């Protein structure tokens, strides 16, 4: 069952980070058009990630002995809010910083921690995660990609799809089957760190409706991985993935994908729609929705900071967050459409057009709506 969530405030020492972060972002993103900033955590910019690393803002929660800043989960929440709120291009480091690094810290060997974590903190190692597969989608229990143990380590074969930034990444943490069959569902699954430069790995980017290529298909043809590619315990992959997904599904990135559009629309309203009751009501609806979800996300941050794994609660926040992310472009479009003769800037129209094209994917990434609601139902004891 789902426990009652506590109302949490961000500690003052973590809130104090905002001033420095905003000053940096004001300079770093000066002159960047809204429709470009709207890509934010889908915008890949390795140089920008390295600038964050130079300020100690990658691996901000990782221990100092591995190159991290040793700060709290709330510090990362503040950093994430500031980056996503202005549409900073965070995609290059996002997965490594948010979940691969914490996963390696929790389940990795000392050798794995010493090798990967300092590289993540310096923006020298970018990660993707290999979960979804052709013909099984987000139903991870149907995974067919196999890693078979041999004298050299693990022989990997199969494929992944909808893998974010695989074409730019150095490593993938892949959920694979190391024993049993798909009939065993969640048993026999393990996580393997795959060097994407190994022979037998091929990556094919997928172009989307917006003209970008964030996702890829990844094929493994008898890829020989070393023995120490296994992370955690063989056969415990399902439990490890659920702990990892709690980081992915609970954070502010599940609420703020449409923030640059909201900011651009508000600027439009200040000059063109002052006193517009429909615009005011729409803004009130969006803000009240976001405020509740932000409070829920903060509550889960507190649980993660305590070392808990609120997988069901995180799934609920992700599902509800997707609703508001998809609703914002629709609601703003309806307000603008209610006054078709009113002038609208080209930057607002371009930003709205981009979000309208991208919004359907919000309920696909991180687990489809159908899969998430199945997980929630199981958590509530309803199936």
For residue 342, is pLDDT > 80? yes
pLDDT value, residue 163: 92
The per-residue pLDDT for range 345-382, each reduced to its tens digit, is 999 999 999 999 989 888 877 778 888 888 888 888 88
Token couple for 109 = 């060997």
Mean pLDDT within 19-37: 96
The rounded distance, in Å, linking the Cα atoms of 166 and 172 is 8
Most confident of 1-5, 306-310, 372-376: 372-376
pLDDT value, residue 65: 97
For residue 311, is pLDDT > 90? no
Integer distance in angstroms from the first to the last C-alpha of the chain? Answer: 12
Q: How many CA atoms lie within 13 A of 270 on its CB side?
A: 6
Most confident of 162-166, 281-285, 340-344: 281-285
The per-residue pLDDT for range 248-305, each reduced to its tens digit, is 666 777 788 899 999 999 999 988 866 789 999 999 999 999 999 999 999 988 888 8
pLDDT value, residue 47: 96
The per-residue pLDDT for range 249-265, each reduced to its tens digit, is 667 777 888 999 999 99
The rounded distance, in Å, linking the Cα atoms of 361 and 210 is 11
Query: Residue 281: how many CB atoms within 10 A of its CB?
Result: 12
The rounded distance, in Å, linking the Cα atoms of 229 and 222 is 15
Q: Is the pTM of this model over 0.85?
A: yes
For residue 1, is pLDDT > 70? no
Q: Which of 7, 11, 37 is nearest to 264 (CA)?
A: 37
pLDDT value, residue 372: 83
Q: How many CA atoms lie within 13 A of 39 on its CB side?
A: 19
Cα–chain center distance at 165 = 11
Token couple for 331 = 């609601």
pLDDT value, residue 309: 76
pLDDT value, residue 333: 96
Whether residue 130 contacts residue 174, with contact meaning beta carbons closer than 8 Å, is answered with yes
- H/E run at residue 178: none
pLDDT tier, 100 (very low <50, low <70, confident <90, very high otherwise): very high
Token couple for 113 = 């921690």
The per-residue pLDDT for range 56-87, each reduced to its tens digit, is 999 999 999 999 999 998 999 999 999 999 99
| Mean model confidence pLDDT for the chain | 90
- For the chain, how many residues are written? 383
For residue 167, is pLDDT > 80? yes
pLDDT value, residue 213: 80
Mean pLDDT within 89-103: 93
The rounded distance, in Å, linking the Cα atoms of 15 and 6 is 19
The per-residue pLDDT for range 111-148, each reduced to its tens digit, is 999 999 999 999 999 999 998 898 776 677 788 999 99
What dihedral do alpha carbons 129, 135, 137, 140 form, nearest 10°? Answer: -70
pLDDT value, residue 274: 66
């Amino acid at each position: 069952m789902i426990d009652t969530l506590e109302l949490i405030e961000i500690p003052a020492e973590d809130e104090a980070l905002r001033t420095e972060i905003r000053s940096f972002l004001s300079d770093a993103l000066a002159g960047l058009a809204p429709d470009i900033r709207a890509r934010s955590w889908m915008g890949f910019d390795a140089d920008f990630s390295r600038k964050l690393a130079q300020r100690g803002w990658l691996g901000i929660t990782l221990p100092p002995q591995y190159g991290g800043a040793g700060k709290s989960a709330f510090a990362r929440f503040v950093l994430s809010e500031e980056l996503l709120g202005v549409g900073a291009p965070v995609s290059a480091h996002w997965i490594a910083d948010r979940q691969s690094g914490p996963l390696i810290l929790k389940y990795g060997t000392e050798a794995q921690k010493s090798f990967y974590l300092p590289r993540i903190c310096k923006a020298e190692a970018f990660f993707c995660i290999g979960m979804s597969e052709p013909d099984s989608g987000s139903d991870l229990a149907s995974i067919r990609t196999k890693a078979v143990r041999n004298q050299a380590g693990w022989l990997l074969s199969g494929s992944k799809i909808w893998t974010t930034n695989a074409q730019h990444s150095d490593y993938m943490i892949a959920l694979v089957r190391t024993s049993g069959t798909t009939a065993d569902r969640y048993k026999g699954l393990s996580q393997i760190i795959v060097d994407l430069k190994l022979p037998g790995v091929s990556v094919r980017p997928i172009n989307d409706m917006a003209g970008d290529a964030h996702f890829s298909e990844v094929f493994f043809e008898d890829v020989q991985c070393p023995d120490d590619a296994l992370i955690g315990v063989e056969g415990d992959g399902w439990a490890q993935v659920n702990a990892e997904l709690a980081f992915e599904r609970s954070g502010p990135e599940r609420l703020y994908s449409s923030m640059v559009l909201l900011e651009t629309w508000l600027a439009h309203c200040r000059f063109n729609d002052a006193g517009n009751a429909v615009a005011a009501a729409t803004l009130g609806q969006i803000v009240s929705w976001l405020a509740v979800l932000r409070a829920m996300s903060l509550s889960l941050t507190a649980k993660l900071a305590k070392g808990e794994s609120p997988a069901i609660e995180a799934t609920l926040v992700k599902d509800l967050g997707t609703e508001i992310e998809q609703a914002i472009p629709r609601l703003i479009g309806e307000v603008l459409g209610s006054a078709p003769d009113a002038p609208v800037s080209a930057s607002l129209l371009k930003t709205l057009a981009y979000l309208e094209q991208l919004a359907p994917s919000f309920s696909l990434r991180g687990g489809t709506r159908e899969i998430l609601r199945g997980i929630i139902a199981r958590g509530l004891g309803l199936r």
